[in-house]
Amino acid sequence: MPLKVYYPRPKIGLYPREVDKQAWDLLQAALDPEIEFMIVPEIPDPADYHVLVTGWPTKEQIEASPDLHTLVIPWAGLTESTREILQAYPHLNIHNLHHNAVPTAETALMLLFAAAKCILPIERKFRGHDWRPRYGPNPALLLSGKTMLILGYGAIGQQVGRVCQAMGLNILAVRRNPDAPAPEDVQAEVHPPDALHKLLPFANVLMVTVPLTDETRGLIGKKELDLMPENSILVNVGRGPVVDQEALYNTLKEGKLHSAGIDVWYNYPPDEDSRAHTPPADFPFHELDNVVMSPHRGGGASEVELLRMSHLAELLNSAAHGEPIPNKVDLKAGY
């Protein structure tokens, strides 16, 4: 029996969003011939699909097909609204795609290097032909030989660890399941969450890649920031509220941290009209020279749709062949 997959064609307003043709062609070529893939805006008739691919499933989409057994969320994590809906359907297997792990890791590294080398305020001055920063005290930090603590040692954290270890950093990590499989080419010390306070005094760099859950919300506050060594760097590509915004702002303003690189925030534009003038936090991070700010675009790249479809094909092919499907989501844990 063929595996039937329904991918609700996403919409912008009332109009279906155009599907990237190159990505669609890649998916079609990579899928097992036995897979019937339907990408349409409305629920197909007959509704006999086995797999639903969407990050925002509706009750109607879930209940329309009596054969539905798997939901694939085409990115990492799940929204709170999706998590609430899925509580009523415990029989569904839920899986993520981790296609954006490498782009997000690259953004994390970009933020780290820009923060460590204080490049943005210097670059702004040099655009005005001001060479004086070259001849004054150099606030840049050397990263080689320092210790990085990765909070959330999943696909993103492992990629960051791989690159930073090659550059001479020592890698510590905190993970919900420290005994879970990890890449052998990264010599990381992996610890359980209750070791966080013991590890922070060694964290010259704190790399936050953990998802937002009830357990991680506010996980890094004033107490945790105060435990970090002087002249440390914090990078957050996980979710904004994992780090308390007031504590982070005050710690940066007072110079207790050397710098920070932030891609994930606390306030987001509620609609298209507000995208040009929505402050990302309740505190003026934009006034601080020791912060590198990015508007939550870490997982994006011009090739990201190709990556998404490649990873989706691998996952669906595993399902069609009766093999274990990767990236299973623990609904209770939230990832």
Domain limits, the chain = 3-100+302-320, 101-293
The yes-or-no verdict on residue 334 having pLDDT over 90 is no
**Can you give the pLDDT at residue 13?**
42
Q: Are strands 291-293 and 51-53 parallel, antiparallel or unpaired?
A: unpaired
Q: Give the architecture (CATH level 2) of 101-293.
A: 3-Layer(aba) Sandwich (3.40)
Distance CA 263, CA 280 (A): 10
The yes-or-no verdict on residue 1 having pLDDT over 90 is no
> How far, CA to CA in Å, does 81 sit from each of 57, 58, 213?
9, 10, 13
CATH 3.40.228.10 holds for 3-100+302-320: no
pLDDT band (50, 70, 90) for residue 85: very high
pLDDT per position as a tens digit, 270-317: 999 999 999 999 999 999 999 999 999 998 888 888 999 999 999 999
**Which has the higher per-residue pLDDT, 108 or 14?**
108
**Can you give the pLDDT at residue 273?**
94
Distance CA 323, CA 316 (A): 10
pLDDT per position as a tens digit, 197-229: 999 999 999 999 999 998 999 999 999 999 999
The average confidence (pLDDT) of the chain is 93
**Can you give the pLDDT at residue 140?**
97
Distance CA 275, CA 258 (A): 30
User: Are 3-100+302-320 and 101-293 equal in CATH topology?
Assistant: yes
The yes-or-no verdict on residue 89 having pLDDT over 50 is yes
The yes-or-no verdict on residue 62 having pLDDT over 80 is yes
